[in-house]
Amino acid sequence: MPDSTPSALSPRVRFAPSPTGFLHVGSARTFIFNWLFARHHHGTMVLRLDDTDVERNTEASVRSIFEGLRWLGLDWDEEYKQSERLDLHRKAAEAIFARGLAYRDFTPAHAGEDTQSGTQGAASREGAWLCNPGMREMSREESDRRAAAGEPFALRYRVPRGQGRILSFQDGVYGPQSKMADEVEDFALLRSDGMPTYHLASCFDDADLRITHIIRGQDHLTNTFKHLLIFEGLDAAAPQFAHLPLLVAPDGAKLSKRKHGPVVSVTTYRDAGFLPQAFINFLCLLGWSPKNDREFLAVDEIRELFSLDGVNRANAVVNFKEDDPFDPKAVWLNAEHLRALPVEELARCIEPFLKQAGFQAAPEKVAAVTPLIRERIKLLSEAVSAADFFFVAELTPYDPAELIPQKGDAALARRVLEKAQEVLAATPFDHDSLDKGLREAAAALGLKAGPMFQPIRVAVCGRKNAPPLFETLVVLGRETCLERIGQAEARLASLQV
RNA sequence: GUCCCCGUCGUCUAGCCCGGCCUAGGACACCGCCCUUUCACGGCGAUAACACGGGUUCAAAUCCCGUCGGGGACGCCA
């Protein structure tokens, strides 16, 4: 998008979700791209709730959307609700009708049936539907008479036909676009209950709110030709358009709430322990590239680097699976962002997950544990399984055989544990002292570090894979360590019978 | 069905507009090695792609045409 155009000097963009379900990743990405564009150009970000579908809108959905956006931590400058602007929309429709650019369609509405539920709908028709027979040509007199008689009607745009009219615009991502007007159907502006349709409400508001750039999903690319007509009918200049490649599932189909469920919900990512900055980073890389081979980026960096020129045209696959709902790259990025966080901050992020697992996660304790697990977790939620033994009073039962080092036997494990108890009881409980004491003990037993440390690690952690030993011992404290080693000896004894 | 869009490693992508520097670069994942008290981190390495067919040209991933494949729109949903 050339920065020389006046509108690019201070662009106004909008994110216009319809509150018919939870905020899903595709919508979140659209929001993020708009935000990035606005903030990069020092423009204005407008949030508009496109809630003209009274039937399907829910309060819960509105809350869910705000919750998701707030979690992302990205802001907006102005906020509107379409449902509060209905009078404006109706007046706009009347104006278009008055100009002869629309007509009344008295064809009864498709009785309840969702055209899409049958999969058929448009597909079953031979060719594309353009208009209902007899309506477009109806005389103004008859139209007025039937309307006055109270017969319900929808208002449709009278798409110019037979004039060889070509609709065209320059897309910020897809380049020059054009289509014959003859191929555009007479879409509805007003429903028979008087409510504006999405097309009308959206275009009117975009014009009225002086939106300069419409950045939205590519599923609206063909709708844009209709929108061009509406802006014309409104006698308003059309904004710039930029369509984003779609986010698709591994099977190639557009991500949808209905088909893909919670794996596409923003809250699913939040609850699994994604950091919002990592989530944003991941979503940006789906269909956009800074072109400098960098992928791990802070939000501020992305904002600075962002440009519509970097937006790709091919759809992007979000690589989730049945057994693993998150794209590996998203997980990797999250791990990177996790490690980039100052420990205290990471600790604060981890704390709620620990508490939710029922642990007594005192801030000081979490702060002490965090550095030990931060390179061992990729999602915040994994802190629970990575650090459980720091918080439980009683270790969950483990196989005593784990206490026995690789090339050793139970007797060796017993000797190690006994020796360890001596050392731990007599050594100052700090990293270096423990390190020195335990290594000397190993030497005294004629053992290498491995066989010496493993029994101790399993005894205090209850498993083989754990954070580095000395740090772990320190955080656990002398008392707990001694107690757990004692219990380990008992387990070992039970094994020998 | 009609129209619109897209097609580089398994996935995200760079390169394409302005043909040669591309024996196609990076990242994730996977595999191997190293580091190491376990796990992890880190380091190193390997495998892996220009959908296909025609042109144009001295030269094509890059330009043109076609084919095939995928997606989207076609609703009184948004």
**What are A315's two structure tokens?**
């759809």
Burial class (CB in 10 A: 0-12, 13-18, 19+), A236: middle
- Indicate the SS3 state at residue A432: helix
Per-residue CB contacts under 7 A with strand B, chain A residues 225-284:
245-246, 248, 250-254
pLDDT at A125 (0 to 100): 54
Question: In angstroms, rounded to a whole number, what is the distance separating the alpha carbons of residues A352 and A372?
Answer: 18
What ipTM does this complex have? Answer: 0.96
| Long-range CB pairs of A410-417, under 8 A, 24+ apart, other chains included | A410/A492, A410/A495, A410/A496, A412/A451, A413/A455, A413/A492, A414/A489, A414/A492, A415/A445, A416/A445, A416/A447, A416/A451, A416/A452, A416/A455, A416/A456, A417/A455, A417/A456, A417/A459, A417/A485, A417/A488, A417/A489, A417/A492
Q: Which bases in strand B are touched by protein, i.e. have an atom under 7 Å from a CB?
A: 1-8, 10-15, 25-29, 36-41, 70-78
- A291 CA to B21 C1' distance (Å): 19
**Residue appearing with tokens 């893909």:** A260
Nearest to A54 by CA among A96, A97, A83, A88: A83
Instruction: Retrieve residue A313's tokens.
Output: 């045209």
Specify the DSSP element, H or E, that contains A78: strand A78-81
Q: Is the CB of A147 under 7 A from strand B?
A: no
Please tell me the predicted confidence (pLDDT) of residue A8: 52
pLDDT of residue A496: 59
pLDDT reported for residue A322 = 83
Token digits for A90?
A: 């109706």
CB A169 within 8 A of CB A224: yes
Say which nucleotide is closest to residue A251, CA to C1' distance.
B70
> What digits encode the pLDDT tens for the residues A137-190?
999 999 999 999 999 999 999 999 999 999 999 999 999 999 999 999 999 999
> What integer pLDDT is reported at residue A123 of this predicted model?
46
Find all residues with CB under 8 Å of A339, minimum gap 6, and list them: A374, A375
pLDDT value at residue A126: 63
Residues pairing with A215 in the sheet? A242
Residue lying closest to nucleotide B6, CA to C1': A314
Q: Closest Cα to residue A330, out of A25, A70, A21?
A: A25
Which pair of structure tokens corresponds to residue A349? 């992020």
> Is residue A195's beta carbon less than 7 angstroms from any atom in nucleic acid strand B?
yes
Residue A191 CB lies within 7 Å of the nucleic strand B? yes
Distance in angstroms: CA A123, C1' B67:
24
Nucleotide with smallest C1' distance to residue A109 CA: B76
Long-range own/partner contacts, residues A216-222 (CB < 8 A, 24 or more apart): A216/A30, A216/A242, A216/A243, A216/A244, A217/A26, A217/A30, A217/A243, A217/A244, A217/A246, A218/A174, A218/A243, A218/A244, A218/A245, A218/A246, A218/A315, A219/A246, A219/A254, A221/A171, A221/A174, A221/A177, A222/A179
CA of A411 to C1' of B58 (A): 80
φ/ψ of A430, rounded to 5, equals: -130, 160
- The Cα–Cα gap between A203 and A16 comes to 11
Nucleotide nearest to A317 (CA to C1'): B11
- pLDDT less than 70: residues of chain A: 1-8, 111-126, 496-497
Residue with tokens 């700090």: A430
Strand B–CB A329 distance below 7 A: yes
Distance A293 CA to B45 C1' (A): 21
The CA distance from A135 to A124, in Å, is 22
- Strand B reaches within 7 A of the A204 CB: no
A330 CB neighbours strand B below 7 A: no
Q: How far apart are CA A192 and CA A458, in angstroms?
A: 72
Tokens of A224: 């844009």
Residue A122: CB partners within 8 Å, gap ≥ 6? A115, A128, A129
- How many CB atoms neighbour CB A264 within 10 A? 26
Tally: H helices and E strands in chain A: 20, 12
Locate A342 and state its tokens.
Answer: 């100052």
Residue A475, burial from CB neighbour count under 10 angstroms (0-12, 13-18, 19+) = middle
Q: Which of residues 286-315 of A touch strand B (CB under 7 A)?
A: 286-289, 291, 293, 295, 310, 312-315
Give the Cα-Cα-Cα angle A221, A55, A68 (nearest 5 degrees). Answer: 65
Residues of A (357-396) placing their beta carbon closer than 7 angstroms to any atom of strand B are 375-376
Query: What is the Cα A397 distance to its own chain's centre?
Result: 38
Question: Å from A358 (CA) to B56 (C1')?
Answer: 71
Strand B lies under 7 A from the Cβ of residue A208: no
